[in-house]
């Protein structure tokens, strides 16, 4: 694909440039099809005349058949070609839209951070998703529609002149008039349209703002204020939209009116000419058809004109909105990214933000490669700002900031990515797996995503090593242990896990009896579902899966026989009522639903059921409702779901049912269940539960810690630790990493930067969400492994970890007030001393 060396920024491009850049082969093919189409459009007119004048008038049946056959063929071909044009148009348009969208998105991501502080995300979404779509439609039509229709018009016009010049002039007289008046009307429409785009944009911002701040509105019950703000805007939009629509339809109606005047002129003049004997009837029919047919291309042209205007306005407005240059070059062709040596030199650095606020002033600082600098000071003193300037995330306004002797402002983003690692205060974790997030920075620094480049990514061993360094190893191991293996797959792994189970029983079975509820056939399992307590096995057939049991005829008959059906439905009803009572109105957040027997996606259904239960007795409920209640009861885990408890008599009944169930199912359908047995892998349970051959009793940190420490030992003995961690690395972190805790997100971000091993490492309060131990371990690691190898600039909130930094810079109001080694500054009893020991009064 030929590309300019310096492509113009996407927002500077005109709408037509996209037409030029579209698929030329398709465009040529399109033109060829158009030529054919025009021919097949004119042919029927001539045939019409011939059918009337030659075949009908002269009563020649054979000619009639021939002409009619040709007519039919022309119509069929013309319709087929019209469809073909549409197909090509669609391809052209959608391809162009895709390109436009991609390029605009690529551009938007490079805009300065500053820009996004002032921009609502919703605005960008609507611009990319809806506002530019008409531009794509336009680009598809940009050549085909005008060319087809202008040619058709010319052909019809020419044919009319060929038939009768006078009559042709009569019927075409209207069009120039339209051509003069239409653009004027369109101009008003455009102005209205621009206003509409602007007001719609304001409205989106207003909605986005009030939705984000909805708690404030609820808190103040300020519905009236917010409603009136919105109502005013809606009213303004109403006015504008009405005006815009009226102008649009007005333009159309005017056009229609003019065009329908033409037949009137034809009948008057043509009829008179025929009566006078200067014109024949066949020609008049042909004329009338041609006149009618003129209308279609003309209408299409006019519609196209309006689409063009509308697309133009939207396109222009959208592009204007994003028309800012990126602050830094992304990538420079012609040279490989610099390999900087890690030295930092700052001279007279000043950063004045918009509005003339000085955030940094006259900063002077020098670091040798591998030196570690701590930036301390109160919040707002500029320490983060300085770190962000070094990382090229802020563009300083004057002075010099050099990394490895190169001015940071002149470096490309690739240079930065190659040499700098950055961990921000609240690192962003993207949707995907742990592994994808871990490799994010390394992958970004690659030249491309080709297999040869991907082979340069760190090995699994390296990945696991940094997980350990950052202290997230055990978390990932947990994710792995909480995975449910796919049914009957990885049977080798399953066999090895059973060996781990045996080791665990031997070494820790006694010790952890207080922490784990083992799968004991004689006892009720409070940390397993009611269904598992009854079946005491994992289903091998889908109809026996826990979710389907409440509709399984065999199982229902069994419950009835054991007199369990009614008590379980009653339990389901109680669970429904209490859970709905507590969780009603809360968002579908994991925090709220972790201990709820009702999963978030079914909450609405159970909420309705709870309403129903208020006025209906259990035995009067329908089949479907009873089945829902039973389903909930079967999923109930008394040890986890706190909204109800399991009555003791029901517990006894269930335990008695367990033996009966095994007997009956083995008689009726042997092999439907794999019963829990110490030598069998249980595919319906997690790896953890398989190793424990039971379930942990508590979520409390201390008991979990005990369990995991023991399991780690057993896994090491079986050489399975890394395999399980690798499974855990495929754990999906959820949108924005919301399945991870704040600490886990920070650790993951630190692991990510450790894996990259940059020359210069910037950490902006990167360990603020970590517990003491993790923070000290990471600090330790930085001192032992990184000192002398990578330059570190750390914004530090906690002052007890800065003792071993090479230099400490104390910042106050955008200036460095003290700079030097920790001991020296402390001895001076200046600002640092004050920060550490608090202000002396």
| Minimum CB distance to another protein smaller for 585 or for 670 | 585
Decide if residue 648 touches another protein (CB under 8 A). Answer: yes
The reply to whether 358 sits near another protein by the rule CB under 8 A is: no
Q: Which CB sits closer to another protein, 84 or 570?
A: 570
Structure tokens at 651: 């517990």
Please identify, among the stretches 367-375, 673-681, 769-777, 780-788, the one whose residues bind another protein according to the rule CB under 8 A: 769-777
Residue 698 in the binding site for another protein (CB under 8 A): yes
Stretch that binds another protein, among 170-178, 396-404, 424-432, 639-647 (CB under 8 A): 639-647
| Binding residue for another protein, selected from 399, 639, 820, 821, defined by CB under 8 A | 639
Single out the residue of 450, 522, 702, 784 in contact with another protein (rule: CB under 8 A). Answer: 702
Among 134, 471, 638, 657, binds another protein (CB under 8 A): 638
Q: Binding another protein by CB under 8 A: which of 261, 582, 712, 723?
A: 582
Number of H helices, E strands in the chain: 35, 14
Q: Can you tell me which of 560, 611, 699, 823 binds another protein, judged by CB under 8 A?
A: 699
Binder among 198, 705, 771, 834 for another protein (CB under 8 A): 771
From the list 254-262, 270-278, 457-465, 572-580, the region that binds another protein by CB under 8 A is 572-580
Q: Tell me which of 183, 547, 647, 678 binds another protein, using CB under 8 A.
A: 647
Q: Does 379 bind another protein (CB under 8 A)?
A: no
Q: Closest distance between another protein and the C-beta of residue 461, in Å? A: 32
Pick one of 798, 828, 829, 837: the residue that binds another protein (CB under 8 A). Answer: 798
Two tokens at 714?
A: 């057993």
Per rule CB under 8 A, is residue 215 in the interface with another protein?
yes
How far is the C-alpha of 163 from the C-alpha of 556, rounded, in Å?
86
- Tell me: does residue 772 bind another protein (CB under 8 A): yes
Q: How far is the CB of 584 from another protein (least distance, A)?
A: 9
Query: What secondary structure does DSSP assign to 517-578, as a single string?
Result: EE--TTS--TTS-HHHHHH-EEESSGGGSHHHHTT-HHHHHHHHHTT-HHHHHHHHHHHHHH
Is residue 277 at the binding interface for another protein, with CB under 8 A as the rule?
Answer: no
Q: Backbone dihedral region of 553: left (phi > 0), alpha (psi from -120 to 50 degrees) or beta? A: alpha
Contact 391, 344 (CB under 8 A): no
Q: Chain-centre distance of CA 696, in angstroms?
A: 36
- Using CB under 8 A as the binding rule, whether residue 407 contacts another protein is answered as no
Nearer to another protein, 30 or 575 (CB): 575
Tokens of 748: 């993951």
Under the binding rule (CB under 8 A), the answer on residue 380 touching another protein is no
The distance of closest approach from Cβ of residue 651 to another protein in the complex, given in angstroms and rounded to an integer, is: 9
Instruction: Tell which one of 425, 548, 608, 768 touches another protein (CB under 8 A).
Output: 768
Using CB under 8 A as the binding rule, the residues of this chain from 520 to 539 that contact another protein are: 526
By CB under 8 A, tell whether 611 contacts another protein: no
User: Which CB sits closer to another protein, 293 or 640?
Assistant: 640
Kindly report the length of the chain. Answer: 841
| Closer by beta carbon to another protein, 258 or else 799 | 799
The distance from CA 690 to its chain's CA centroid, rounded to whole angstroms, is 36
Q: Is 429 in the site for another protein (CB under 8 A)?
A: no
Sign (positive or negative) of CA dihedral 368, 374, 376, 381: positive
What is the full DSSP assignment across 794-840?
EE-S-GGG-TTSSEEEEEETTEEEEEE-HHHHHHHTSHHHHHHH---
The pair of structure tokens assigned to 543 is 């109809």
CB under 8 A, 24+ apart: contacts of 746-749: 746/423, 746/427, 746/770, 747/470, 747/471, 747/472, 747/475, 747/774, 748/427, 748/429, 748/434, 748/437, 748/438, 748/470, 748/472, 749/423, 749/424, 749/427, 749/429
| Closest residue by Cα to residue 581 from 501, 644, 623, 624 | 644
Of the residues 542, 587, 670, 671, which one makes contact with another protein according to CB under 8 A: 587
Q: In the window 217-246, what residues touch another protein (CB under 8 A)? A: 218-219
φ, ψ for residue 286, nearest 5 deg: -60, -40
d(CA 806, CA 744): 28
Q: Which of 211, 299, 316, 216 is nearest to 258 (CA)?
A: 299
Nearest approach in angstroms of CB 531 to another protein is: 17
Among 644, 692, 729, 796, binds another protein (CB under 8 A): 644
Nearer to another protein, 380 or 647 (CB): 647
Task: Determine if 211 is a binding residue for another protein (CB under 8 A).
Answer: no
* Residue closer to another protein, measured from CB, 106 or 588: 588
Choose between 784 and 841: whose C-beta lies nearer to another protein. 841
* Residue keyed to tokens 């024949």: 280
Stretch that binds another protein, among 212-220, 476-484, 614-622, 824-832 (CB under 8 A): 212-220
What is the nearest approach in angstroms of another protein to the Cβ of residue 556?
23
Q: Measured over all CA atoms, what is the biggest interatomic distance in the chain, rounded to whole angstroms?
A: 122
Contacting residue, 742, 788, 823, 837, with another protein by CB under 8 A: 742
User: What tokens were used for 778?
Assistant: 């990471």
To another protein, the closest distance from the beta carbon of 644 in angstroms equals: 5
Taking CB under 8 A as the rule, does residue 595 contact another protein? yes
**Are 522 and 692 spatial neighbours (Cβ–Cβ below 8 Å)?**
no
The stretches of 589-700 forming alpha helices (DSSP H) are 590-593, 603-615, 623-635, 648-668, 687-692
Contact status: 592 vs another protein (CB under 8 A): yes
Stretch of residues binding another protein (CB under 8 A), selected from 243-251, 277-285, 549-557, 579-587: 579-587
Output the DSSP codes for 739-779.
TS-HHHHHHHHHHHHHHH--SEEEEESTTTTS-HHHHHHHH
Residues that bind another protein (CB under 8 A): 215-216, 218-219, 526, 570, 574, 577-578, 581-583, 585-587, 589, 591-592, 595, 638-648, 698-700, 702, 741-742, 768-769, 771-772, 798, 800, 841
């Amino acid at each position: 694909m030929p590309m300019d060396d310096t492509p113009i920024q996407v927002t500077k491009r005109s709408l037509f440039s996209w037409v030029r850049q579209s698929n030329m082969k398709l465009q040529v093919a399109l033109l060829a099809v158009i030529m054919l189409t025009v021919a097949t459009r004119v042919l029927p007119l001539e045939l019409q005349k011939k059918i009337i004048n030659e075949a009908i008038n002269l009563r020649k049946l054979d000619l009639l058949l021939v002409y009619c056959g040709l007519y039919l063929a022309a119509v069929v071909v013309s319709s087929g070609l019209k469809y073909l044009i549409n197909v090509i148009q669609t391809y052209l348009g959608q391809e162009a839209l895709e390109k436009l969208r991609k390029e605009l998105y690529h551009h938007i991501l490079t805009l300065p951070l500053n820009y996004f502080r002032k921009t609502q995300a919703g605005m960008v979404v609507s611009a990319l998703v809806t506002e530019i779509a008409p531009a794509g439609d336009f680009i598809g039509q940009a050549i085909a529609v005008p060319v087809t229709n202008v040619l058709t018009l010319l052909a019809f016009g020419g044919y009319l002149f060929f038939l009768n010049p006078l009559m042709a002039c009569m019927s075409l007289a209207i069009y120039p008039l339209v051509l003069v008046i239409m653009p004027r009307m369109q101009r008003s429409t455009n102005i209205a349209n621009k206003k509409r785009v602007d007001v719609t944009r304001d409205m989106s911002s207003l909605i986005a703002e009030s939705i984000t701040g909805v708690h404030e509105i609820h808190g103040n019950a300020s519905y009236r204020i917010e409603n009136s703000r919105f109502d005013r805007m809606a009213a303004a939009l109403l006015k504008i939209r009405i005006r815009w629509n009226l102008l649009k339809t007005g333009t159309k109606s005017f056009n229609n009116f003019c065009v329908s005047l033409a037949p009137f002129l034809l009948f008057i003049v043509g009829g008179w000419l025929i009566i006078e004997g200067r014109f024949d009837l066949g020609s008049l029919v042909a004329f009338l058809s041609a006149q009618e047919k003129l209308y279609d291309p003309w209408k299409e042209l006019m519609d196209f004109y309006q689409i063009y205007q509308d697309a133009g306005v939207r396109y222009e407005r959208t592009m204007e909105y994003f028309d800012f240059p990126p602050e830094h070059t992304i990538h420079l062709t012609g040279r490989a990214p610099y390999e900087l040596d890690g030295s930092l030199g700052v001279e007279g650095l000043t950063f004045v933000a918009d509005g003339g606020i000085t955030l940094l002033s006259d900063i002077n600082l020098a670091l040798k490669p591998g030196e570690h600098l701590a930036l301390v000071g109160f919040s707002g003193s500029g320490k983060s700002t300085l770190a962000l300037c070094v990382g090229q995330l802020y563009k300083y306004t004057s002075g010099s900031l050099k990394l490895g002797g190169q001015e940071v402002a002149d470096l490309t983003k690739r240079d930065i990515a190659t040499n700098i690692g950055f961990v921000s205060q609240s690192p962003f974790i993207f949707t995907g797996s742990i592994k994808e997030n871990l490799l994010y920075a390394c992958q970004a620094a690659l030249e491309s995503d080709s297999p040869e480049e991907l082979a340069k990514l760190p090995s699994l061993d390296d990945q696991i090593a940094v997980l350990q360094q950052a202290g997230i190893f055990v978390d990932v191991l947990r994710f792995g242990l909480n995975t449910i293996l796919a049914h009957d797959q990885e049977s080798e792994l399953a066999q090895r896990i059973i060996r781990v189970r045996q080791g665990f029983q031997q070494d820790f079975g006694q010790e952890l009896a207080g922490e784990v509820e083992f799968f004991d056939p004689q006892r009720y399992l409070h940390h397993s579902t009611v269904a598992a307590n009854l079946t005491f096995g994992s289903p091998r057939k889908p109809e026996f899966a826990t979710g389907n049991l409440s509709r399984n005829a065999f199982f229902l008959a069994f419950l009835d026989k054991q007199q369990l059906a009614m008590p379980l439905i009653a339990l389901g009803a109680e669970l429904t009522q209490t859970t709905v009572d507590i969780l009603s109105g809360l968002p579908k957040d994991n925090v709220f639903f972790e201990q709820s027997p009702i999963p978030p996606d079914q909450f609405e259904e159970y909420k309705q059921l709870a309403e129903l239960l208020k006025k209906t007795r259990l035995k009067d409920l329908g089949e479907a409702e009873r089945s829902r209640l039973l389903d909930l009861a079967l999923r109930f885990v008394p040890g986890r779901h706190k909204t109800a408890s399991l009555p003791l008599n029901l517990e006894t009944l269930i335990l008695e049912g367990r033996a009966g169930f095994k007997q009956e199912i083995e008689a009726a359908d042997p092999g439907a269940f794999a019963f829990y047995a110490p030598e069998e892998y249980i595919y319906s349970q997690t790896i953890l539960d398989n190793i424990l051959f039971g379930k942990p009793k508590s979520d409390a940190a201390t008991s979990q810690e005990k369990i995991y420490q023991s399991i780690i030992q057993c896994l090491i003995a079986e050489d399975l630790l890394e395999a399980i961690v690798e499974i855990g690395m495929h754990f999906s972190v959820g949108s924005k990493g919301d399945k991870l805790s704040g600490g886990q997100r920070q650790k993951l971000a630190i692991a990510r930067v450790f894996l990259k091993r940059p020359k210069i490492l910037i950490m902006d309060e990167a360990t603020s969400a970590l517990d003491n131990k993790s923070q000290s371990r990471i600090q330790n690691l930085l001192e032992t492994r990184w000192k002398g190898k990578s330059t570190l600039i750390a914004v530090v909130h906690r002052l007890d970890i800065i003792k071993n930094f090479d230099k400490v810079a104390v910042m106050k109001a955008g200036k460095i007030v003290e700079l030097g080694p920790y001991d020296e500054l402390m001895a001076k009893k200046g600002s640092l001393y004050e920060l550490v020991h608090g202000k002396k009064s």
